[in-house]
Amino acid sequence: MNFDMIGPALVLGLGCIGSAIGCAIGGMASHGIMARVEENHGKFIGMSAMPSSQTIYAFVLMWRMKDSIAAKSISAMSGIGIGAAIGLAIMASAIYQGKCAATGIQASAKQPGIFGKCFAALGIVESFALFAFVFALLLL
Supply the CATH classification number for the domain 6-139. Answer: 1.20.120.610
Structure confidence at residue 139 (pLDDT) = 92
**What are the residues whose beta carbons fall under 8 Å from the beta carbon of 28, sequence distance 6 or more?**
102
DSSP 85-96: HHHHHHHHHHHH
Give per-10-residue mean pLDDT for the chain (140 aa): 91 97 94 81 87 96 95 94 97 97 91 90 95 94
Structure confidence at residue 42 (pLDDT) = 75
Q: Give Cα 87 to chain centroid, integer Å.
A: 10
Dist CA 136 CA 138 (whole Å): 5
Q: Answer yes or no: are the C-beta atoms of 45 and 30 closer than 8 Å.
A: yes
**What are the residues whose beta carbons fall under 8 Å from the beta carbon of 102, sequence distance 6 or more?**
25, 26, 28, 29, 48
